[in-house]
């Protein structure tokens, strides 16, 4: 039997080709609710593949009162950190047979709220909100509509729903310990323009780790261009620190660009460690040493929470990935020193 051009293949077509009932075909394609013999299951799957059968999501939604769609709202889609996190979340949702509908808030709390409204109007089965904003709790809208939701990365101070955060504590301790191992005592921190959300948490940990030392606090926007301009001003003023932890990879890449433009060597004159660990960080010049956030584990936990209401996935720690920007030469990458230092 072959599919006729312009004619959608139906469940009955698959059943006829497999020599079984539509109920059995439904059990196979939906993984239940009743078991199907392995031989029959293989026959059904082969027939569905041969006929290029695609389940009708609209019909399924009408029957089950679910759409099979989960809304994913990103704080800023062009940002590599949020982009990498989105890829992990989308992959986890796909494994659960969910279609991902993605919206970009562009760091706007108003747009984030508008996207929640639109996704709820589209009757999504759940919402994953990757937020960098500490404004109003938009999840309250979802809760009123009976739609499960979870924040990732950050949540408002008065947020009431589950939240999956990055490792904002041990990542800083690891970076500080490693730079101290290189002999640095004056370790600066590059924060954002305001002390809100995860970056504010990272700054607070850095202050605790370096309490009583002369540790400069620097600030910039999260754009590479702003951080490059700041770096060039510090170099011109003669105040560029010799060791620097950046809150985000975007800032770190800006530091590398600014230093290169003014002929300052990294790591020769300035050692740099970043706290995100996005894929881009491996391809800078020099390659960035980072504390790589556990994005895969964060995505798994978020999807479990929004779809199941619970998760067995425990919060994971960031891992220190050693490259050139901290001062670890390639020949030293296998030494005991560069394998990491105890957190003190």
Q: Do 209 and 321 sit in the same domain of this protein?
A: yes
Q: How far apart are CA 220 and CA 36, in angstroms?
A: 60
Of the pLDDT bands very low, low, confident and very high (cuts 50, 70, 90), residue 4 is very low
Q: Do 177 and 275 sit in the same domain of this protein?
A: yes
Beta-carbon contacts of 171 under 8 Å, excluding residues fewer than 6 positions away, are 202, 275, 291, 293, 317, 318
Of the pLDDT bands very low, low, confident and very high (cuts 50, 70, 90), residue 342 is very low
How many residues are there in the chain?
Answer: 344
The structural domain count of the chain equals 3
Q: What is the pLDDT of residue 340?
A: 45
Q: What are the two backbone dihedrals, phi and then psi, of residue 19, each rounded to the nearest 5 degrees?
A: 70, 40
Q: Do 129 and 219 sit in the same domain of this protein?
A: no
Q: What is the pLDDT of residue 333?
A: 44
What's the domain range around 25? 11-55
Mean pLDDT of the chain: 86
The answer to whether position 223 is within a domain reads: yes
User: For the purposes of burial, counting CB atoms within 10 Å of the CB of 202, is it exposed (0-12), middle (13-18) or buried (19 or more)?
Assistant: buried
Q: Which of 34-38, 96-100, 225-229, 321-325 has the lowest mean pLDDT?
A: 34-38
Q: How far apart are CA 93 and CA 96, in angstroms?
A: 5
Tokens of 81: 């950190």
Residues 82 and 105 sit within 8 Å (Cβ to Cβ): no
- Kindly state the average pLDDT of the residues 319-341: 67
Residues 136 and 157 sit within 8 Å (Cβ to Cβ): no
> Given 115, 133, 164, which residue is the final one in a domain?
164
* Strand, coil or helix: 13: helix
Chain-centre distance for alpha carbon 227? 22
- Kindly state the average pLDDT of the residues 261-288: 95
Q: Do 179 and 226 sit in the same domain of this protein?
A: yes
Task: Please report where in the chains the tokens 């924040």 appear, as a residue.
Answer: 151
Q: Write the CATH number for 246.
A: 3.40.50.2300
Q: Do 209 and 327 sit in the same domain of this protein?
A: yes
Where is mean pLDDT largest: 11-20, 53-62, 130-139, 237-246? 237-246
pTM of the model: 0.77
The answer to whether position 298 is within a domain reads: no
């Amino acid at each position: 039997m072959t599919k006729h051009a312009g004619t959608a293949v139906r469940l009955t077509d698959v059943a006829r080709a497999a020599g079984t009932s539509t109920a059995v075909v439904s059990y196979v394609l939906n993984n239940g609710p009743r078991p199907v013999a392995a031989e029959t299951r293989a026959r059904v799957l082969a027939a569905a593949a041969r006929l290029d059968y695609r389940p009708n999501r609209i019909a399924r939604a009408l029957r089950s009162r679910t759409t099979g769609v989960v809304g994913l709202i990103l704080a800023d889609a062009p940002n590599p950190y949020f982009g990498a996190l989105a890829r992990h979340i989308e992959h986890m949702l796909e494994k659960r047979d969910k279609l991902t509908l993605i919206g970009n808030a562009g760091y706007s709390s108003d747009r984030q709220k508008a996207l929640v409204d639109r996704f709820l109007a589209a009757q999504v089965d759940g919402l994953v909100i990757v937020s960098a904003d500490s404004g109003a709790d938009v999840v309250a809208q979802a809760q009123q509509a009976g739609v499960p939701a979870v924040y990732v990365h950050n949540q408002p101070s008065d947020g009431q729903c589950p939240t999956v955060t990055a490792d904002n504590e041990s990542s800083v301790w690891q970076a500080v310990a490693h730079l101290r191992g290189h002999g640095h005592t004056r370790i600066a921190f590059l924060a954002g323009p305001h002390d809100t959300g995860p970056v504010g948490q990272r700054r607070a940990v850095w202050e605790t780790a370096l309490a009583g030392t002369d540790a400069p606090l620097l600030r910039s926007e999260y754009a590479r261009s702003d951080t490059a301009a700041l770096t060039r001003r510090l170099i011109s003023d003669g105040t560029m620190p010799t060791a620097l932890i950046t809150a985000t990879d975007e800032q770190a890449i800006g530091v590398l660009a600014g230093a290169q433009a003014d002929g300052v060597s990294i790591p020769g004159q300035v050692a740099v460690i970043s706290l995100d660990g996005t894929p881009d960080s491996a391809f800078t010049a020099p390659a960035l040493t980072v504390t790589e956030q556990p994005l895969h584990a964060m995505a798994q936990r978020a999807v479990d929470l929004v779809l199941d209401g619970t998760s067995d996935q425990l919060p994971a720690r960031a891992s220190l990935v050693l490259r050139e920007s901290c001062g670890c030469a390639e020949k030293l990458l296998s030494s005991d020193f560069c394998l990491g230092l105890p957190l003190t």
